[in-house]
Amino acid sequence: MRLKNIFVICLLLILCITTTGCDLSDKKIVKIGVAMPTQTRQRWNQDGSNMERMLMEQGYKVDLEFANNEIELQLSQIRTMIDEGCKVIIITAVDANSLSEILDEAKSAGAKIISYDRLIMNTDAIDYYATFDNLAVGTMQGEYIEEKLDLKTGKGPYNLEITAGSVDDNNTIFFFEGAMEILRPYIQTGQLVVRSGQVNLKQCAIPHWKEDIAKERMTNIIKNYYDKNHLDVALCANDSTAFGVINALKAEGYGDENKKMPLITGQDADRKNMKMIISGEQTMSIFKDTRMLAEQVVVEGKEPETNDIGNYNNGVKIVPSFLVRPQFVDKSNYKEVLIDSGYYYENEF
Ligand code: GAL
């Protein structure tokens, strides 16, 4: 009941009337800010435009901004949203730890804050968090590897290298831990061998999920540790890091007749990675239906749902959350998952 009250109070979200004296039923005067991290990753363009479209369809004004992965730019975009009088600001942070002060200002100005996909840390100004089940993303990647390599029946040893996400993104820890919970026992038995020795998150992390940094790191690993050995599995946290890793491997002769591509994981089912899954360069990805996440935050006239009230502590409070279930996608099921569901058209690949 208490939780319900919190929502009714905090998440006057996009509801009709107001604690602030402003009549939200005249939607034309209500503006919603949507602050996305960057346009260089396909998904944030999609998430941003899905929300913009849904909000505009409901009659709201929308200020949609992309921050080019720059902290300062995101801060100034949020400041503008406050100055414009945005009643709700939906944010995917560039850096989870840099928004405390600006969000205090937003809260004092009466704006409601939704943390979108990535949890914003160290602030009590967030009212709601909508994301995918981030631990499940990692678990699915780990289980896919476990199953395809038949690790449960004792097969191996296989050489594995790990590429993780950006440490300023709280999701990275969940992705990494989810996958490592499955894979760590096999590293301990020696069925999986990490020749570089890089098994901690910090050693495997890729700042801002950048393709070229992932590429450079994998090139060094291959040159230093795989002169006489074959890399069998590359756990990559998402599609941009997988893209960098694939390019590094191709430049080192992988994909040629007698140097088979390793099993490579990803996340986001980006168009360009789906092409590589179909051509056999990448093995799988995790599909996050961004339409479902946008629907979760763009609710009109009803309380946003929660299904997780314990796992997402941002250092100041446990943030009421809704987790959307992701699913794996590979060559065997992509038509059913991505095309039959209307997410992509067949000719996009
Ligand atoms: C994460 C997000 C992933 C991926 C990554 C890179 O926060 O959950 O889906 O897109 O950022 O942008």
pLDDT at 21: 30
d(CA 253, CA 255) in angstroms, rounded, equals: 6
**C-beta of residue 159 within 8 angstroms of C-beta of residue 226:** yes
How far does the chain reach from its first CA to its final CA, in angstroms? 48
- Percentage of the chain surpassing pLDDT 90? 83
Ligand 1 pocket, residue 273 CB under 6 Å: no
Q: How many CB atoms sit inside 10 A of residue 313's CB? A: 11
Q: What's the average model confidence in pLDDT over 98-109?
A: 97
Q: How many H-runs (helices) and E-runs (strands) does the chain carry?
A: 12, 12
The pLDDT of residue 25: 53
For residues 87 and 31, what is the distance between their CA atoms, to the nearest angstrom?
6
| Ligand 1 contact, 171 CB (< 6 A) | yes
Q: Long-range contacts of range 103-111, CB-CB < 8 Å, 24 or more positions apart?
A: 103/78, 105/79, 106/78, 106/81, 106/82, 109/82, 109/85, 110/20, 111/33, 111/81, 111/82, 111/86, 111/87
> From the CB of 208, is ligand 1 less than 6 Å away?
no
| Beta carbon of 232 within 6 Å of any ligand 1 atom | no
Report how far residue 149's alpha carbon sits from residue 168's, in angstroms, rounded to the nearest whole number.
32
Pocket test for ligand 1, best of 39, 206, 210, 238 (most atoms within 8 A of CB): 238
- Specify the pLDDT at position 10: 34
Neighbours of 179 (CB within 10 A): 26
68 CA distance to ligand 1 centroid (A)? 14
Average the pLDDT over 207-228 and give the result. 97
pLDDT digits (tens, 9 = 90+) for 83-95: 999 999 999 999 9
Joined tokens for residue 327 = 């699913």
Mutate to test the pocket of ligand 1, among 133, 239, 268, 272 (most ligand atoms within 8 A of CB): 268
Average pLDDT on 237-264 reads 96
The confidence score (pLDDT) of residue 15 equals 39
Compute the distance from residue 262 Cα to the ligand 1 centre, in Å: 23
C-alpha closest to that of 296 among 90, 101, 125:
90
Residue 17 has pLDDT above 50, yes or no: no
When mean pLDDT is compared over 15-19, 54-58, 94-98, 292-296, the highest value belongs to 94-98
Phi, psi of 193 (to 5 degrees): -120, 125
Measured from the Cα of 175, ligand 1's closest atom is: 8
Any idea which residue has 């979108």 for tokens?
Answer: 116
| Residue spans of alpha helices (H) in 20-110 | 42-57, 71-83, 100-108
Q: pLDDT class for 100, splitting at 50, 70, 90? A: very high
Q: Work out which ligand 1 atom sits closest to the CA atom of 118.
A: 7
Query: Does 268 contact ligand 1 (Cβ within 6 A)?
Result: yes
Task: Work out the mean pLDDT of the chain and round it to a whole number.
Answer: 91
Q: How many CB atoms lie within 10 A of CB 6?
A: 15
pLDDT tier for residue 27 given thresholds of 50, 70 and 90? low
Would you place residue 16 in the very low, low, confident or very high pLDDT band (cuts 50, 70, 90)?
A: very low
Ligand 1: which of 42, 43, 173, 271 to mutate, most ligand atoms within 8 Å of CB?
Answer: 43
CA distance 226 to 307: 45
Place of tokens 């440490």: 167
Q: Which ligand 1 atom lies nearest to the CA of residue 41?
A: 12
Looking at residue 291, its pLDDT comes to 87
| Residue 329 CA to ligand 1 centre (angstroms) | 16
Segment 333-344 mean pLDDT: 96
CB 319 within 8 A of CB 119: yes
In angstroms, what is the span from residue 328 Cα to ligand 1's centroid? 15
**How far away, in angstroms, is 166 Cα from ligand 1 center?**
9
For residue 26, the model assigns a pLDDT of 56
29-53 pLDDT tens trace: 799 999 999 999 999 999 999 999 9
Which residues are 66's β-sheet partners? 36
Centre of ligand 1 to C-alpha 1, Å, is 33
What pLDDT score does 154 carry?
Answer: 96
pLDDT given for residue 349 in this prediction: 87
pLDDT for residue 28 = 58
Confidence of residue 301 (pLDDT cuts 50, 70, 90): low
Query: Does residue 60 register a pLDDT over 70?
Result: yes
Gyration radius of the chain's alpha carbons: 21
Structure confidence by residue, pLDDT tens digits, 116-156: 999 999 999 999 999 999 999 999 999 999 999 999 999 99
Report the predicted TM-score, pTM, of the whole model to 2 decimal places: 0.90
